[in-house]
Amino acid sequence: MSQSSTQNPGFVQVRDLRRDFDVSKPWLNRVLERAPRQYLKAVDGVSFDIRKGETFALVGESGSGKSTVARMVVGLLPPSGGTVSIAGISMTEQRASQERQRLRRRIQMIFQDPYASLNPRWRVGRIIAEPIRAFDIIQGEADITARVGELLTLVGLHPDDGKKFPHEFSGGQRQRIAIARALASNAEFIVCDEPTSALDVSVQAQILNLMRDLQEKFGLTYLFISHNLAVVRHMATRIGVMYLGRLVEVSEGKQLFFVPRHPYTRMLLDAVPDIAMVGKSREGVKGEIPNPISPPSGCTFHPRCPLVFDRCRIENPPVIDGVACHAVNEGRVAAA
Amino acid sequence: MTGQSSSVPVLSVRDLTVEFVTRRATLRALDAISFDIARGEVLGVVGESGAGKSVTGSAIIGLIDPPGRIAGGEVVLSGERIDNLPPEAMRRIRGKRIGMIFQDPLTSLNPLYRVGEQLVETIRTHTDLNAADARKRAIALLDEVGISAPERRIDGYPHEFSGGMRQRVVIALALCAEPEFIIADEPTTALDVSVQAQIITLIKRLCSERGTSVMLVTHDMGVIAETADRVAVMYAGRIAEIGPVRDVVKQPLHPYAKGLMGAIPSLEGDAERLVQIPGSMPRLSAIPSGCAFNPRCSRVFARCHVERPELIQVGDRKVACHLYDMPESLRGKAEIAA
């Protein structure tokens, strides 16, 4: 991972990415109740870089916008504002360029639910061969079958498994199939949206180890979305913490766990039940994520923040040196 | 922390066996499991999907639906056998003496009734309170589980509550009749971490205040580590290891428990690779002979293929593994011989 990370900074560049969802009531209700249109800011000005060969993780609770970011980065969802560029090619520009078409095949996604992401009526071999055929990477049936067998072996399955249907596999094996499909088009950049949250712990360990092995072997770049901090700590080179559509802290991997800086990150870390916590009592966490349709003014975390002061209620803190917090940026808190 | 009172345990399960009869075969989901829960004790039950955790809970409260059936063993609640009671008598115990908290709070609340109506109905079913007193009690319960402005919130519908708040309402429902025993089946799995911590703290506090015993079923070791007094690790319908939570989490004995603890990414410690247990849990239709874990076990030897290990006492805990059924000096040799 380390040798390639310096030569190409910002393999993926995300700048001021925004996405609003229209959650207005139907037209008639709006007219009768004189209600204005309502928008939910799912992602509100997120910027980050992913270096080649690293794993960039996004963590946050449900509704924080991490999956929306992932879907915009792969191009499944058009952003309302901001840009995404991968290997210097803009993914968000209106004009569909030929370069982008070629780039698309190098980007793949692994989804959370391996029961929903594989077509139940296709044999596994056909599922894995789909990107190969779609992008015309290999010609000739015999060669395609050989390649599928090779991919299945790579993810720890048997080449003959290609003849089976998805329902014949367990959750962990299905996720292996999803990984094989992602690798089929020689992808370099894989967006993983909660790849292990539907799996049991012992199977989760198998999949996480497999993903790391493949990363080392092929120099893959991952955008890794998870709500599980321990999994993220295990996988990530760098971590971004999201809260209500904003990136509140970006930190070098384990650094985040040794010196969490944003008060939200600290709260989150304190809240995780951990097996190291046997017999220890914890500090209570206060409050819940507010309604994203009418988020609090200023810094959206201020109603739950122990360090809140007047400025937080009015002004949205910019990300300075990896942290979006007035208290930290003004040096009012020691760095833990 | 375990019941030193030496009185009868609140719940005692002996050789409980649950079978599901299908056209092809009879599947054994629970295979003669036994455990006790003392007054005020929290027993954590962990294991992967299909280990039999939830079936254990359903069997105790008599909610196994056909084709499943309790094929053997007994369940004793405070000295009284309950597994052979007629359905009507069982219905009266359910909710009154055994409370239940399920994983998804939205499905355990009726979306068409106000929260207060559901609480009052439950309270009046199990106690002699009149409507006005029951409502007062419902408000007091909501207050106790940490819902602010309970006088106002009691008239809200479930959809007006957030996930964490709903789970608090469900806990209040479970506490309505002051049960002596609560089964909590994955109570925090559907919740975000920050809310999860609040709910764990709440369950812990309520149980120690009221002396209620809890069977906490979850696949999350972190939750168990913080909440439970004792923990039972289940595998393929049997208990692999049961003992004080500190021992089992920090120094598991059974190879499956060891693998399970090593597989969990931790917030501390620096494992470059996670321990992985090869393979996956066997299907009920194809449970291996001998020890069910033997095809995945790294320390398997000849006896494991033939003989099913029983739970044996090792210090404070019990382990179902042949490795601990021999003098320590012989353990390595048996494996080499295999």
**CB distance B162–A61 less than 8 Å?**
no
**What is the four-CA torsion angle of A6, A10, A12, A18, rounded to 10 degrees?**
150
Q: What is the CATH number of the domain that holds A255?
A: 3.40.50.300
> Which 144-173 residues of chain B touch chain A by CB within 8 A?
162, 164-165
Chain A to chain B, count of Cβ pairs less than 8 Å apart?
A: 131
Nearest CB to A278: which of B194, B245, B264? B245
> Rounded to whole angstroms, how far apart are CA atoms B330 and B97?
48
In a domain, A332, yes or no: no
Cα A165–Cα A196–Cα A112 angle in degrees, nearest 5: 65
Q: How many CB atoms lie within 10 A of CB A136?
A: 8
Backbone phi, then psi, for A225, in 5-degree steps?
A: -105, 130
- Averaged over A126-153, what is the pLDDT? 91
E-strand spans in B139-244?
A: 181-185, 213-217, 230-235, 238-244
Mutation to test the B interface, candidates A167, A200, A267, most B Cβ within 10 Å: A200
- Averaged over A276-292, what is the pLDDT? 68
Domain count for chain B, please give it: 1
Domain count for chain A, please give it: 1
Comparing B4 with A216, the larger pLDDT belongs to A216
- pLDDT tens digits for range B87-100: 888 888 888 899 98
- pLDDT tens digits for range B61-89: 888 888 888 998 999 998 889 888 888 88
In a domain, B74, yes or no: yes
Model-level pTM?
0.81
- In one-letter notation, the amino acid at residue B279 is G
Give B207's Cβ-side CA count (13 Å radius): 27
Nearest CB to A170: which of B198, B245, B280? B280
In a domain, A85, yes or no: yes
> Rounded to whole angstroms, how far apart are CA atoms A274 and A62?
20
pLDDT of residue A183: 92
- pLDDT tens digits for range B192-229: 777 788 888 888 888 888 889 999 998 888 888 888 99
Q: What is the CATH number of the domain that holds B324?
A: 3.40.50.300
> Given a cut of 90, is residue A103 above it in pLDDT?
no
Which span out of A103-112, A284-293, B262-271 was modeled with the highest average pLDDT? A103-112
> Rounded to whole angstroms, how far apart are CA atoms A132 and A127?
10
> Given a cut of 50, is residue A283 above it in pLDDT?
yes
In a domain, A235, yes or no: yes
Residues 6 or more apart whose CB falls under 8 angstroms from that of B25 comprise B285
> Rounded to whole angstroms, how far apart are CA atoms A200 and B64?
24
In a domain, B111, yes or no: no
> Given a cut of 80, is residue B244 above it in pLDDT?
yes
**Closest-CA residue in chain B for A236?**
B272
pLDDT of residue A4: 40
> Given a cut of 60, is residue A261 above it in pLDDT?
yes
pLDDT of residue B334: 57
Report yes or no: A277 at the B interface, CB cutoff 8 Å. yes
pLDDT of residue B269: 64
Report yes or no: A274 at the B interface, CB cutoff 8 Å. yes
Domain of B232?
Answer: 11-97+177-265+274-337
> Given a cut of 90, is residue B324 above it in pLDDT?
no
In a domain, B250, yes or no: yes
Per CB-CB distance under 8 Å, the chain B contacts of A57 are none
Per CB-CB distance under 8 Å, the chain A contacts of B220 are 273
pLDDT of residue A182: 92
> Given a cut of 90, is residue B145 above it in pLDDT?
no
**Closest-CA residue in chain B for A265?**
B194
Report yes or no: A280 at the B interface, CB cutoff 8 Å. yes
Length of chain A as a residue count: 336
DSSP string of A233-265, one letter each residue = HHH-SEEEEEETTEEEEEEETTHHHHS--SHHH
Comparing A297 with B338, the larger pLDDT belongs to A297
In a domain, A169, yes or no: no
In a domain, B125, yes or no: no
Confidence band (pLDDT; 50, 70, 90) for A3?
Answer: very low
- Averaged over B104-126, what is the pLDDT? 88
pLDDT of residue A219: 92
Determine contact, residues A146/A159, Cβ cutoff 8 Å: no
> Rounded to whole angstroms, how far apart are CA atoms A132 and A135?
6
**Surface-to-core class of residue A85, CB atoms within 10 Å of its CB (0-12 exposed, 13-18 middle, 19+ buried):** middle
In a domain, A336, yes or no: no
- Averaged over B147-175, what is the pLDDT? 87
> Given a cut of 50, is residue A5 above it in pLDDT?
no
In a domain, B240, yes or no: yes
Confidence band (pLDDT; 50, 70, 90) for B2?
Answer: very low
pLDDT of residue B240: 93
Report yes or no: A257 at the B interface, CB cutoff 8 Å. yes
Report yes or no: B196 at the A interface, CB cutoff 8 Å. yes
- The alpha carbon dihedral of A256, A261, A265, A268 has a sign of positive
**Closest-CA residue in chain B for A210?**
B273
> Given a cut of 50, is residue B315 above it in pLDDT?
yes
Report yes or no: A276 at the B interface, CB cutoff 8 Å. yes
Mutation to test the A interface, candidates B162, B165, B186, B194, most A Cβ within 10 Å: B194
Residues 6 or more apart whose CB falls under 8 angstroms from that of A134 comprise A185
In a domain, B145, yes or no: no
> Rounded to whole angstroms, how far apart are CA atoms A207 and A187?
18
> Which 121-180 residues of chain A touch chain B by CB within 8 A?
170, 172-173
Domain of A59?
Answer: 2-106+188-277
pLDDT of residue A7: 46
Mutation to test the A interface, candidates B188, B193, B198, B268, most A Cβ within 10 Å: B193
Backbone phi, then psi, for A107, in 5-degree steps?
A: -115, 130
Confidence band (pLDDT; 50, 70, 90) for A91?
Answer: confident
In a domain, A86, yes or no: yes
Least confident of A71-80, A94-103, A296-305, B114-123: A94-103
- pLDDT tens digits for range A322-336: 888 888 888 777 544
- Single out the residue of B276, B255, B247, B246 nearest to residue B264, CA to CA: B276
In a domain, A100, yes or no: yes
In a domain, A29, yes or no: yes
Give the 3-state secondary structure of residue A59: strand
